Amino acid sequence: MQAFQTSFSKHPFELGCATSSFQIEGAADSDGKVPSIWDSFCQQPGRIKDASDGRTACEHVLRYREDVALMAELGFRHYRFSISWPRVMDAQNRPNAAGLDFYKRLLDELAQHDITPNATLFHWDLPDHLPGGWLNRDTAYRFADYAQLIAKELGDRLPRVATLNEPWCSAYLGYDRAVFAPGGRNRSDALVAAHHLMLAHGLAIKAWRAVNPSTSLGIVLNPELCDAASASPEDEAAARMAEIERNDCFFSPLVGRDWPAPLLQQIKGAEAIRQPGDLGICAQPLDFIGLNYYTRSIATAPKTAEDAERGYTFVPPIGQAYPLTDIGWEIYPEGLSRVVERLKSQWSLPPIWITENGVADNTGLSEGSCDDRMRCDYLRSHLAQVQQLRQQGHDIRGYYVWSLLDNFEWAHGYTQRFGIVHVDYATQRRVPKASALLLQSLMRTASATN
Ligand code: IFM
């Protein structure tokens, strides 16, 4: 790939980098921050692969100036980050001035370096003190209070804000698969959580717009491209069922449409949980949608009793036609185009930002530098797909690499490195990898040709 061309549409294209609060901030209980469900989950034996936690992470709260300077040096003009709800509100759900100050200082620093912030309100670090977490309808209303606080305190400095990041992960990994906090194992609970998350999204958009109607507001989803393992009707039906759970479950409420019947059958007490008027709240007009894409999945008819409830089983890629990343995900760049095309054929979408794309490539430092070739190839091939989609007229306005820094990769702890900047967790030294330099040169050429 030569230069990344930005001239296919009338809108300037954003090439940015992304992080999230729990994964990089550390400072787990400084300045009045209260515990999140991830702080508690990490304390439970066996939950995190390397028994680590987010207490220190990348020490971003201490080192944000250095991190912003590094972004600027690499040529980034756009930065997606998330705000930690438990840092900015206390256990009585009151504003925490010291926590809010951190984000004010971060925004000052970004402004000084001419980097535009792109904020997400919820990237999984739910305050631990909220009774029942996302199983409790009240959490959706507390989220709206939090959104309104951020709109009042920071809203005039945040041009673009997403409510939730990847609610499928919060709902299903958190309440059905026990892989994420809070570690639940109940199919119906996952749907209850999914409904409350989407209700929270709608209430937050309303609350934000009441304070600051000019902010561009949206949500970040991680739609799954689910291919059937074979052409058999059973595998085809399984692939569709997987997409219903992972995609329709979240896109339907955004357009005020009821869930497909198979989802409604899986939730117990649906009438009490999904109250009249809820769908109208979920379906607030959106200014943008963020899509996170990493890989595709391959589905067969369910192979276990547990999967029978879900209606599908995911299987490893057949024949290893495509290479796997260090975390074991297939590298399938065409999937990015296919998932965008598939979603657009199903739903009417607002302008799209690719809010995350990246790869676990655990290449270490050698003589002071990191030659992360897999990541370089991955980024080139996925950016080429974005370029092609834009050339075809798809309204894709930005691409954010995941992630700026190596960081806490949830249940994998620090065993998987997604950063374009290497972090030595013992010394906190940051070293840009070859992939960071690749993006730097693409951004330089793009700005020179525009
Ligand atoms: O690290 C995560 C991020 O928090 C959400 N999207 C996927 C990334 C890689 O797993």
Q: Distance, CA 237 to ligand 1 centroid (Å)? A: 28
Task: Write out pLDDT tens, residues 188-213.
Answer: 999 999 999 999 999 999 999 999 99
Residue nearest to atom 2 of ligand 1 (CA): 409
Q: Is residue 110 over pLDDT 70?
A: yes
Residue whose tokens read 């085809």: 236
Q: Distance, CA 210 to ligand 1 centroid (Å)? A: 31
Q: Distance, CA 450 to ligand 1 centroid (Å)? A: 32
pLDDT, greater one: 105 or 306: 105
| Residue 364's pLDDT band (cuts 50, 70, 90) | very high
| Whether residue 168 has its Cβ less than 6 Å from ligand 1 | no
Ligand 1 atom, smallest distance to 222 CA: 6
Q: Is residue 360 over pLDDT 80?
A: yes
At residue 15, the 3 state secondary structure works out as strand
Give mean pLDDT, residues 417-438. Answer: 98
| Whether residue 418 has its Cβ less than 6 Å from ligand 1 | yes
| Whether residue 170 has its Cβ less than 6 Å from ligand 1 | no
Q: Distance, CA 164 to ligand 1 centroid (Å)? A: 13
Give mean pLDDT, residues 422-444. Answer: 98
Contact call for residues 83 and 121 (beta carbons, < 8 A) = yes
Helices (H), 44-96: 60-74, 85-88
Q: Is residue 9 over pLDDT 90?
A: no
**Separation CA 138–CA 135 (nearest Å):** 9
**Separation CA 28–CA 398 (nearest Å):** 31
Residue nearest to atom 4 of ligand 1 (CA): 20
| Residue 8's pLDDT band (cuts 50, 70, 90) | low
Q: What is the pLDDT of residue 1?
A: 52
Q: Distance, CA 409 to ligand 1 centroid (Å)? A: 7
- What percent of the chain is helix, strand and coil (3-state, nearest 5)? 45, 15, 40
Tokens of 25: 């901030």
Q: What is the pLDDT of residue 10?
A: 75
Structural domains of the chain ordered from first start: 14-449 (3.20.20.80)
Tokens of 257: 């449409």
Residue nearest to atom 1 of ligand 1 (CA): 409
Mutate to test the pocket of ligand 1, among 168, 402, 403, 412 (most ligand atoms within 8 A of CB): 402
| Whether residue 153 has its Cβ less than 6 Å from ligand 1 | no
Q: Distance, CA 42 to ligand 1 centroid (Å)? A: 17
Is 136 buried (19+), middle (13-18) or exposed (0-12) by CB count in 10 A?
middle
| Whether residue 166 has its Cβ less than 6 Å from ligand 1 | yes
| Residue 320's pLDDT band (cuts 50, 70, 90) | low
Ligand 1 atom, smallest distance to 123 CA: 4
Mutate to test the pocket of ligand 1, among 122, 409, 420 (most ligand atoms within 8 A of CB): 409
pLDDT, greater one: 270 or 371: 371
Mutate to test the pocket of ligand 1, among 294, 359, 410 (most ligand atoms within 8 A of CB): 410
Q: Indicate the pairing of strand 396-402 with strand 421-424.
A: unpaired
Q: What is the pLDDT of residue 11?
A: 80
Q: Distance, CA 329 to ligand 1 centroid (Å)? A: 12
Q: Is residue 150 over pLDDT 60?
A: yes
**Separation CA 182–CA 191 (nearest Å):** 15
Q: Is residue 319 over pLDDT 80?
A: no
Mutate to test the pocket of ligand 1, among 170, 403, 407, 417 (most ligand atoms within 8 A of CB): 403
Measured between alpha carbons, how far apart are the two ends of the chain, in Å?
Answer: 17
Q: Distance, CA 356 to ligand 1 centroid (Å)? A: 8
| Whether residue 402 has its Cβ less than 6 Å from ligand 1 | yes
The set of residues, in sequence order, having a beta carbon less than 8 Å from that of 334 and lying 6+ positions away, is 385
Q: Distance, CA 82 to ligand 1 centroid (Å)? A: 12
Query: To the nearest whole number, what is the mean pLDDT of the chain?
Result: 96
| Whether residue 292 has its Cβ less than 6 Å from ligand 1 | yes
293: region left, alpha or beta (phi > 0 left; psi from -120 to 50 alpha): beta
Q: Is residue 332 over pLDDT 90?
A: yes
pLDDT, greater one: 449 or 227: 227
At residue 113, the 3 state secondary structure works out as coil
Ligand 1 atom, smallest distance to 403 CA: 1
| Whether residue 356 has its Cβ less than 6 Å from ligand 1 | yes
Cα angle, residue 258 at apex, residues 254 and 259 outer, rounded to 5°: 90
Ligand 1 atom, smallest distance to 360 CA: 9
Q: What is the pLDDT of residue 3?
A: 53
Task: Write out pLDDT tens, residues 242-295.
Answer: 999 999 999 999 999 999 999 999 999 888 899 999 999 999 999 999 999 999
Phi then psi for residue 354, to 5 deg, are -80, 105
- Give the catalytic positions in this structure: 166, 356
Is 433 buried (19+), middle (13-18) or exposed (0-12) by CB count in 10 A?
buried
Percent of the chain whose pLDDT exceeds 90: 93
Q: What is the pLDDT of residue 271?
A: 83
For residue 418, the tally of other CB atoms under 10 A from its CB is 27
| Cα maximum dimension of the chain | 62
